[in-house]
Each structure stands twice: as structure tokens, then as C-alpha cells.
Amino acid sequence: MTKEKPVILVTNDDGIHAKGILTLAETVKEFGKVIVVSADRSYSAMSHAITVKDPLRIKEVEERNGIHFYQTNGTPADCVKLALHFILDEKPDYIVSGINHGTNSSTSVHYSGTLGAAREGCLNGVPSIGFSLLSYDPDADFSESKKVIRSVLSETIKNGLPSGTFLNVNIPESKKLAGIKHCRQGNGKWVEEFIEREDPRGQKYYWLTGHFKNLEPEAKDTDEYFLEQNFATVVPCKIDITDFETLNKEIKYAL
């Protein structure tokens, strides 16, 4: 029996009320049946964390415009696991995560809950894509994002994704994008700027903040470069992180 429409699981790390996930869910609904499973709070910078020491719960919240919304108390990666195990009748055809309110380009991919969910989908054999907008504004303008989502999901439906590969899509907040570039992950790092304060008992505490530093400012083939040029970027990312170049050096470790 052929299915009429693909089943698309939508998740994020900002919760089900974020403008980003609503935009994503409405846009991918043009392609199939959509189920939203997300956290009951914001889980920014949760990376690929999963919950092993606390019980997990699932709550069916509502059905709106043909989309079912579920909340869990888990991380983005937990949401994918719970959806696959308890909520969906069958394995979804695609998992999309986002649209994150904030960049996940370059090495930010490693901190991102949005991309943690996409990687979890990929580990479960489902073609998975994480979308992020380069704006932290809760009311950000996602109008160009919809075009990017349609393009990237269409290509993914047409060509599939290799097993063990997921996509990291970043989108400048722009009234008119220059295009979409398939490119490599740039090299960069977050430079910490801790804000130091004192609590009423005289104890110091610190807020983690910082700015991103592009460590390859001359490179013209990275996501960082193309984002600066007003392109959306698509970086294909691997589950297998082995450094084969170093491996081929055949270093011998004696016992």
C-alpha cells in the first residue's frame, strides 16, 4: 500500500509556541502530514543531551489546522526518541527541526539542540534537517525562510540523504536572500564574555555570554562566508566524526 502523503515530524529547542516552529510546521505541511513534538520549555544550547536520570512525560496539547501538537519535558533529542517510540504510528519519512531563533552555523552546530534533534533523527535512519535563522528576535521575520524550507525539503524528497548524513541549514534574516549555497562548515569559536555578579549573600555568580569569532575570515567557501553574503547555507553533516587523516598516520600506542 502506497502512502498518500509523507509523514513529517517537526521539533525544535524553543518549545511549541515559538514563531520558528509554527512557521516550519505550516510550511512543511504543504508536503505531508505534520506532527509537532517539542519541549515544554526552551532548551537552547542543549546539544545532543538526553534525559537518563529523570522521568519523561508526554502531553497532547492541541490539534490546529490539521497539525497535532505534543509537548514533552525532555530535550530536543528526547523529543525525537519519544515521538518515534510513543507518538507516531510509524517511522516518519522526514524530521525537521527549528526554525531556531539564532544561528547554528559553523561550530555552533555542536552546541545546538536544534541540530541535536536532527542528528538523533539521522541516527534513527530518518532524513533529517535542522533550520536556523540568524536572529534571536522572538518575532523575527521568517518570510524568506519559508522559501528556503521548501527548496531544501523538495531536494531532500527528490534525492534523499545518504545514511549517516543530516543537513544544517542557516538563514540570514533578510527581506530578499541572494540564494542558497551548499557549502562546508566554517571554523570558528565562541569567545566567552562572562558577566560577573554577586548574590545577596555575597557569593559570586556568572552569566555565560559571548560572541562568535570566525577563525577563517579569508575563506570564501564556508557557511560563515556565504551567510555574510546574504545566502542561506546548507551544510551536509556526518554522524561519523572520525578524523581519517590523523587515523592514517598509523600512530602506535604501546601498552
73 in Cβ contact with 57 (< 8 Å)? yes
Closest distance to a copy of itself from the beta carbon of 5 (Å): 23
CA neighbours closer than 13 Å in the CB half-sphere of residue 210: 12
Q: Is residue 243 a known part of a binding site? A: no
Instruction: Kindly tell me which of 1 and 231 has the beta carbon lying closer to a copy of itself.
Output: 231
Q: Cβ–Cβ contacts within 10 Å for residue 82, how many?
A: 21
Q: Which of 5, 54, 59 is nearest to 33 (CA)?
A: 5
Q: Looking at beta carbons only, is 32 or 45 nearer to a copy of itself?
A: 45
Peptide linkage before 99 cis (omega within 30 of 0): yes
Kindly tell me which of 1 and 52 has the beta carbon lying closer to a copy of itself: 52
Tell me: is residue 14 an annotated ligand-binding position.
yes
CB of 140 to a copy of itself, least distance (A): 18
What is the rounded distance in angstroms from the CA atom of residue 211 to the CA atom of residue 227?
16
Q: Which residues of 212-247 are buried (b: 16+ CB within 10 A; e: fewer)?
A: bebeeeeeeebbbbbbeeebbbbbebeeeeeeeeee
Give whichever of 78 and 93 is closer to a copy of itself, judged by the CB atom: 78
> Cα(23)–Cα(173) distance, rounded to whole angstroms?
14
Q: How far is the CB of 2 from a copy of itself (least distance, A)?
A: 26
Residue 106 in marked binding region: no
Provide, rounded to whole angstroms, the least separation between the CB of residue 3 and a copy of itself.
24
Determine contact, residues 118/83, Cβ cutoff 8 Å.
no
| Nearest to a copy of itself of 1, 252 (CB atom) | 252
Residue 100 marked ligand-binding: yes
For the CB of residue 11, give the shortest distance to a copy of itself in the complex, in Å: 16
Residue 250 backbone zone (phi > 0: left; psi -120 to 50: alpha; other: beta): left
Q: What's the farthest any 2 CA atoms get from each other in the chain? A: 68
Measure the CA–CA gap between 234 and 105, rounded to whole angstroms: 9
Smallest gap from Cβ 19 to a copy of itself, in A, equals 19
Q: Which is nearer to a copy of itself, 12 or 47 (CB)?
A: 47
**Binding site residue list:** 13-14, 44, 100
Instruction: Tell me the binding residues for a divalent metal cation.
Output: 13-14, 44, 100
